[in-house]
Structure 1
Amino acid sequence: MLITTASDGTQVRAIDEGQGPALLILHPGLDDGRSWAKVAALLTPGHRVVRLHRRQYRQDLPGPATIPQEVQHVLAAAREIGTPVLLVGHSSGAVVALESLVAAPGTFTGAVLYEPPVVIGPPLGGPGGEINLRARQAIAAGHPGRALRMFLRDTVRLPAWAAFLSGLFVALSPRLRPLVPHQIDDNEAIDQLGVRLDAYAGVDTPVLLLGGDRSPGHLGERLDALARALPRAERVVLHGQGHSAHAAAPAKVAAAIESFAAATTG
């Protein structure tokens, strides 16, 4: 376990496994880092793999967290690791990774970004944040599964049946159910950033953009925008995969990370 302190005095916590060149993984929404365990297990024979428990999803810390506050946790973890670090971010965790590259460009050897939902036009939460508002109303009424269903259907743009099943599963999960309000906080935090493509254009760090060809189309559009903005971006398509290849095809994801890590570290 890696434990250190961020610049604002809050505790930073991460799972720390393996030895070798360091990878710092920033997990997606509705998670605490455990969803990347299969990928981490494939990477630890040759790497030190640190899975940060993102501040936005820490129930022991005051929230909601802003993206800059999350970045401070990333930078504190990187300092504690003490060697060159390759960032790996998934979904909203990839947005935090991008903002970490902007905040401290010399800290990281590169970044692997798996479908970051960066804002490239209208906000993720809809006009006036109406999706987030409806989700919060559902949470206040004691229906977190319904709130997640709204988020998955209207923001992630999953098919209605998939959003329904996911919402039902989460509503029945003692571990995931309390994280639903944090997922809506996460969505709002990304919207607060707004369009940041001009800032990302100044990132002179090698970046691998990962995307599945079965993911919702808007995620591919966001990757396209990043590929145009980032000066040293490479795009890789995970064929037959969607937004959860880390769980469905961990070997594919681990292989992409390993290959990119080898190229960026020489």
Structure 2
Amino acid sequence: MQTIHASDGTQLTYDRDGTGQPLCLLHGGMAPPEYWAPVRRELENYATIVPQRPGFGTCLDDQTETGPDDVLDREVASVRDLVDGLDDEPILFGHSYGALTAIEVAREAPVTAVVAYEPAILPEPYRAEADLADRMERLLEAGRHREAVKRYVELVLHPDGIDDLDAWLAEWPPWPDCVELAEEVLRMNRAVERYRLPDRLDVDVPVLVLSGTAGPDFLRESARSVHDALPHSRFVEFDGLGHGGPASAPRRVVGAVESFLDDRTP
């Protein structure tokens, strides 16, 4: 693991592997950094960098005090500090909440391209009716952290329903360790509910927006809306892939990423 000093005085920890242009992999909601292991094995021509998201497994003195209005700003600032500390301008590849972070970072930071798999943005009709953060908060106030995280998994990863959620969770690698992240996931989800996608995203570099036909409808709609809001964007939808596409089908996803990166105008 390597560390750099952030602008706020804290240390940023990240894992770097391989050689070539830096490619930063930003994980989503409750996925651990290990989520990217299958993807990293396919990216042989890049120096892959996986930062530890602030609050997700790191020690932050103000972690419990960070409000939902500050969560995204905190993560964007963290990635910007990482970008500034690298020896070359990187590519950002984000999944879910990490994809939203990557896009926001690219609005100002010196990066060469962005890949965003189903950014965690609620389309307006969905955002107006969103109540997951409120439901999670009530469960947390009652001391039911496990149930709060289960509601998040159920509604975000299985919005069309699942026959046996407990059996699925028993086979899901992040469970049950992610229960400890309940407070952070609540703040993150509240931030997503409050985020409004602008009509135009001021990102000057090329962006590849990815989605899967088996993913949640609101994230598929979000991905298309993000594509429409970007001035230089390509949209690719994978038949049969869900929200976890990068980990479940890394070769397919990385193939599209490499094609996109190879096609960029020098």
After TM superposition, the score normalised by the length of structure 1 is 0.87
Q: CA deviation at 1:235?
A: 0.5
Map 1:91-240; keep pairs closer than 5 Å: 91-104=96-109, 107-122=110-125, 124=127, 127=129, 130-155=131-156, 158-161=159-162, 164-165=165-166, 166=168, 173-192=175-194, 194-200=195-201, 202-240=202-240
Instruction: Supply the AA of the counterpart residue of 1:24.
Output: C
Contact 2:156/2:216, CA 8 A, preserved across alignment: no
Partners of 2:234 and 2:87 in 1: CA distance: 27
Contact 1:170/1:177, CA 8 A, preserved across alignment: no
CA deviation string 1:131-173 (max 9, x = no partner): 2122122234343332123223445552332683355667994
Q: Secondary structure at the match of 1:176?
A: helix
Contact 1:150/1:163, CA 8 A, preserved across alignment: no
Instruction: Supply the AA of the counterpart residue of 2:136.
Output: A
Contact 2:32/2:174, CA 8 A, preserved across alignment: no
Q: Secondary structure at the match of 2:84?
A: helix
CA, structure 1 residues 163+69, in 2 after alignment: closer, same or farther (shift >3 Å)?
Answer: farther
Instruction: Supply the AA of the counterpart residue of 2:51.
Output: L
After TM superposition, the score normalised by the length of structure 2 is 0.87
Contact 1:208/1:235, CA 8 A, preserved across alignment: yes
CA, structure 1 residues 263+171, in 2 after alignment: closer, same or farther (shift >3 Å)?
Answer: closer
Number of residues paired by the alignment?
Answer: 259
Instruction: Supply the AA of the counterpart residue of 2:56.
Output: Y
Q: Secondary structure at the match of 1:60?
A: coil
Partners of 2:164 and 2:107 in 1: CA distance: 33
CA, structure 1 residues 76+169, in 2 after alignment: closer, same or farther (shift >3 Å)?
Answer: same
CA, structure 1 residues 157+170, in 2 after alignment: closer, same or farther (shift >3 Å)?
Answer: closer
Question: Which residue in 2 is equivalent to 1:22?
Answer: 22
Query: Do structure 1's residue 82 and structure 2's residue 87 form an aligned pair?
Result: yes
Unaligned runs of 5+ in 2: none
CA, structure 1 residues 72+190, in 2 after alignment: closer, same or farther (shift >3 Å)?
Answer: same
Partners of 2:164 and 2:198 in 1: CA distance: 29
CA, structure 1 residues 162+109, in 2 after alignment: closer, same or farther (shift >3 Å)?
Answer: farther
Partners of 1:244 and 1:237 in 2: CA distance: 13
More displaced 10-residue stretch of structure 1: 209-218 or 51-60: 51-60
CA, structure 1 residues 252+147, in 2 after alignment: closer, same or farther (shift >3 Å)?
Answer: same
Q: CA deviation at 1:265?
A: 7.1
Contact 2:52/2:58, CA 8 A, preserved across alignment: no
Contact 2:122/2:218, CA 8 A, preserved across alignment: no
Map 1:26-105; keep pairs closer than 5 Å: 26-43=26-43, 45-61=44-60, 62-63=62-63, 64=66, 66-104=71-109
Contact 1:110/1:206, CA 8 A, preserved across alignment: yes
CA, structure 1 residues 48+33, in 2 after alignment: closer, same or farther (shift >3 Å)?
Answer: same
Partners of 1:31 and 1:172 in 2: CA distance: 7
Partners of 1:172 and 1:120 in 2: CA distance: 27
Q: Secondary structure at the match of 2:105?
A: helix
Q: CA RMSD in A?
A: 2.5
Q: CA deviation at 1:220?
A: 1.4
